[in-house]
Amino acid sequence: MYKHLYRKCKPEELTIELLHDALAYDCDTGDFTWKIAPSRKIQVGQKAGCKDGHGYLLIGLYGEHYLAHRLAWFYTYEVWPDNKVDHKDGDGLNNRISNLRDATDKVNSENRRKRTKRTSQYLGVSFDKVRGKWTAHIQTYYKQQNLGRFDTEKQAYIAYLSAKRTLHEGCTI
């Protein structure tokens, strides 16, 4: 019935008309819903997309997978973003247009909220076993800066936040 949904469509070939034909976007909730049923398992009005392994929503459309936040930008502004689309609040599933911004790699990376290494519950803080102190560190322009050693994890985090708010233009915390 909707065979055009199954043809291969390169990301740069996706037009605003094709996007509007297939999906509705609610800028207040950040949700995409199907205007057509792309398969027997999906009904008109059903939310589109599924989570990927990196905390973002992916939507399969015209034989390609698209990040929902990039589609939200395109749907709203009718142009693809020049850079990355950054989630201001750090939540990769919050695709409200008010939460999205076109950001450079630098600004996007400066808005990180989650730690990858887990010696501390806080971003920018780790425990120095040798000295028995908490250390705060921040990266700017691809260089790590040590912000000092602290008696408590919370003190180190306060130092990190202060530096982050000063040094990272993309910081929203």
The reported pLDDT for the residue numbered 2 is 41
The reported pLDDT for the residue numbered 150 is 92
* Residues sharing a CB contact under 8 Å with residue 168, sequence separation 6 or more, in sequence order: 107, 110, 111, 138, 140
CA distance linking residue 60 with residue 51, whole number of Å: 11
The reported pLDDT for the residue numbered 58 is 94
Amino acid in the structure at residue 143: K
**Total residues belonging to the chain:** 173
CA distance linking residue 146 with residue 136, whole number of Å: 6
The reported pLDDT for the residue numbered 7 is 45
Q: In this structure, are strands 100-103 and 125-128 parallel, antiparallel, or unpaired? A: unpaired
- Would you state the structure tokens that stand for residue 77, as one six-digit string? 């502004």
The reported pLDDT for the residue numbered 62 is 85
Determine if residue 168 is left, alpha or beta; phi over 0 gives left, psi from -120 to 50 gives alpha, anything else beta: beta
Instruction: Give the torsion through C-alpha atoms of 98, 103, 109, 113, to 10 deg.
Output: -10
Could you say which residues of the chain have pLDDT below 70?
1-12, 110-111, 113-118, 170-173
- Would you state the structure tokens that stand for residue 45, as one six-digit string? 């009005």
* Sheet of 125-128, strand order: 125-128, 133-140, 143-150
